[in-house]
Structure 1
Amino acid sequence: MLTHTVRRVGLSVAVVAALTSVAACGGSDDGGKGGAEKENRGSSVVKVDPIAALVAVQKKTGQAHSARVEGDTTMGSVMSMKQTGVMDWSDGITGTMKITYTAGTMADTLKQAGGSGTMEARYFKNGYAADMGEALARQTGGKRWINYSYDDLAKVAGASGEVMKDQMQNSTPEQGVKSLLASGDVKKVGQEDVRGVSATHYSGTVDVADLTAKTSNLDADEVAALKKQLADAGVTTETIDIWVDKNDLLVKKTERGEMKTGELDSTVFYSDYGTKVSVERPPAAETVDFAEMLKQQQGATAGAAS
């Protein structure tokens, strides 16, 4: 039977892998609010209506279907991680991602369980799989992969789980552009260099709860529960910045906001649009199902209470 630590790690990995995919396809960076303010101090914000330009960017990026992604995400004291891989959004989200935990309590938990600090995640239309390496294999008879379905995660996390499920199945790089269009205060900052590419910088601030409620398929009760979860976490607004090249393709996206555990700061770079993405499911003999892990934990808890 799996230990409580490994089961707890399994849930931590679920969150890490899910957030990594959403960040990669829905975006973020260090050039968020602070970057925009710095640019504004150096020169006045360009007074140009950016709506038409962003509509073109949304369409062009959405039609590209795939890209190579690289990013960094920090969620206060909970987690810091780096991710690199490829994503395809032509029919749901599929792809592979290498995730390295660099700091935070979640990273400590994973490492204490025997993990190396680096994990591979493979994303499919209805779920994803995470390679936990030898730390998991030693307790599962050689099964090093945990398989997660979005339906199972939604049941565990409530309203926020339903949002995660929706985002994991439908988020694409163009979603960051849609968020800016919905913010109501989007502005064109100016031209900047992004890894040697001349790009146009746009910035805006969104109300996280209201935007999520509008763009997800939650009912009234789920929206109310989500807003309470976000309020309890101290999440209110986020500043979103995007950088677009001359071909109307997203090359960089950042998000920045505040949580009770500290600052949310995410940055993602996009390149090689149209790259081929091929994802294979891990061998069944090397895979343990997350739902089964939860059943074992519930059984162990019930046994201890009786």
Structure 2
Amino acid sequence: MRTSTVRRVGLCVAVAAALTSVAACGGPDKDDSGKGAGHGGSVVNADPVAALLTVQKKTGAASSAKVEGTTTMGSTMAMKQSGALDWSDGITGAMKITYTGGDMADSMKQLGSDGSMQARYFKDGYAADMGAALAKQTGGKHWISYSYEELAALGGASGAAMQEQMQNTSPGEGVKGLLASGDVKKVGKENVRGVTATHYSGTVDVAELTAKNSKLDAEQLTALKKQLGDAGITTEKIDIWVDGNDLLVKKTERGQMKTGELNSTMFYSDYGTKVSVERPPAGETIEFKELLKQQQGATAGAS
């Protein structure tokens, strides 16, 4: 049961990573082609910092968008995600997450899952549909509900940072990170899924970026920097692509962890799309805190 509990904690982090990668993680640079809408590059001739301030403002004001992408976190996980998010008043939305490799994919298989799950995000937490594998262990309940406050308490300094990031996640946060890098450069015009976009690039010191963009106190920041250092993360390279309406259409980030490369590519489209999400039925949901208590009790009984 101890191993199962570890898997549950790991999976909650994985679902969180699917959301936070919308704003920050890592990823390679590459050109893309396909269907899209919009043309131009109104920020091409502007100063990079001034242009990105406009992009951040307009992207934030757009309030919602469809999102899809891929994320890899060393040997821990590789996943793809797609859905729609609204950030007009906290974060709400729904995403389909599929684990394609790493320890998380192995854990999902061991739990009897095909590696896919549905995640629903709310202002105070999120829920993940773990399917029949979980329902067999919980009397038919296949959703796990996670409270941001409980996860923050569980994760210490990193948990507090995750809570803050998840409750403020938006495509504009990726622009904010690039602005904080201090060395943003305009690369030029490129094609992103049929859209002519302006490419910007920069490198961020992860610990310093967190300090600039968070409201954590000095003690929490010191602990978080230590945890980042222990994970082997020092810098991230951020690249973004902006359309002619000054809206973010693509973001990639790349860094290095002790377990391997930290890497993410995200695409944004259909800004202003309507997002509607409902909490799963109470009778089909178990609180993460309650699940941990059950498994810890079973572990104690078996010892």
* TM-score (structure 1 length as normaliser): 0.91
User: 60, 63, 66: which is aligned to 2:61?
Assistant: 63
Q: Which residue of 2 aligns with 1:156?
A: 154
Q: Which residue of 2 aligns with 1:263?
A: 261
Letter in 2 for 1:169: Q
User: 122, 135, 140: which is aligned to 2:133?
Assistant: 135
Change (3 A) 1:235 1:47: farther
Q: Which residue of 2 aligns with 1:38?
A: none
1 or 2, which has the higher helix percentage?
A: 1
Corresponding position: 1:284 with 2:292: no
* 1:221 Cα deviation after fit: 1.3
* 1:215 Cα deviation after fit: 1.3
* 1:101 Cα deviation after fit: 0.3
* 1:16 Cα deviation after fit: 1.0
Q: Which residue of 1 aligns with 2:206?
A: 208
* 1:304 Cα deviation after fit: 5.5
Shifted more, 287-296 versus 51-60: the winner is 287-296
Q: How does 1:117-266 map to 2 (within 5 A)?
A: 117-266=115-264
Aligned residues: 292
Letter in 2 for 1:8: V
Change (3 A) 1:50 1:147: same
Unaligned runs of 5+ in 2: 33-43
Shifted more, 81-90 versus 21-30: the winner is 21-30
Letter in 1 for 2:137: Q
SS in 1 for 2:22: helix
* 1:203 Cα deviation after fit: 0.3
Equivalent-residue separation in structure 1 for 2:160 and 2:295 (angstroms): 22
Q: Which residue of 1 aligns with 2:41?
A: none
Shifted more, 288-297 versus 199-208: the winner is 288-297
* 1:7 Cα deviation after fit: 2.9
Shifted more, 171-180 versus 188-197: the winner is 171-180
Equivalent-residue separation in structure 1 for 2:166 and 2:7 (angstroms): 20
* TM-score (structure 2 length as normaliser): 0.92
Letter in 2 for 1:127: G
SS in 2 for 1:98: strand
Q: Is the 8 A contact 1:201 1:242 kept in 2?
A: yes
* 1:300 Cα deviation after fit: 4.0
Runs of 4+ in 1 over 6 A off after TM superposition: none
Unaligned runs of 5+ in 1: 36-45
* 1:63 Cα deviation after fit: 0.4
Q: Which residue of 1 aligns with 2:19?
A: 21
Change (3 A) 1:263 1:27: closer
Q: Is the 8 A contact 2:231 2:258 kept in 1?
A: yes
Equivalent-residue separation in structure 1 for 2:157 and 2:300 (angstroms): 26
* 1:279 Cα deviation after fit: 0.3
Q: Which residue of 2 aligns with 1:92?
A: 90
* 1:224 Cα deviation after fit: 1.0
RMSD over aligned Cα atoms: 1.9
Q: Which residue of 2 aligns with 1:50?
A: 48
Letter in 1 for 2:207: A
Change (3 A) 1:28 1:88: farther
Equivalent-residue separation in structure 1 for 2:156 and 2:131 (angstroms): 29
User: 296, 299, 303: which is aligned to 2:297?
Assistant: 299
* 1:111 Cα deviation after fit: 1.1
* 1:5 Cα deviation after fit: 4.5
Equivalent-residue separation in structure 2 for 1:4 and 1:133 (angstroms): 21
Q: Is the 8 A contact 1:143 1:287 kept in 2?
A: yes
* 1:267 Cα deviation after fit: 0.4
SS in 2 for 1:24: coil
* 1:67 Cα deviation after fit: 0.2
Equivalent-residue separation in structure 2 for 1:186 and 1:119 (angstroms): 36
* 1:29 Cα deviation after fit: 3.3
SS in 2 for 1:31: coil
Q: Is the 8 A contact 1:28 1:253 kept in 2?
A: no
SS in 2 for 1:221: helix
Q: Is the 8 A contact 1:13 1:130 kept in 2?
A: no
Q: Which residue of 1 aligns with 2:35?
A: none
* 1:172 Cα deviation after fit: 1.1
User: 106, 109, 119: which is aligned to 1:108?
Assistant: 106
- Same amino acid, percent of matched pairs: 67
SS in 1 for 2:279: coil
Q: Is the 8 A contact 1:48 1:188 kept in 2?
A: no
Change (3 A) 1:244 1:24: same
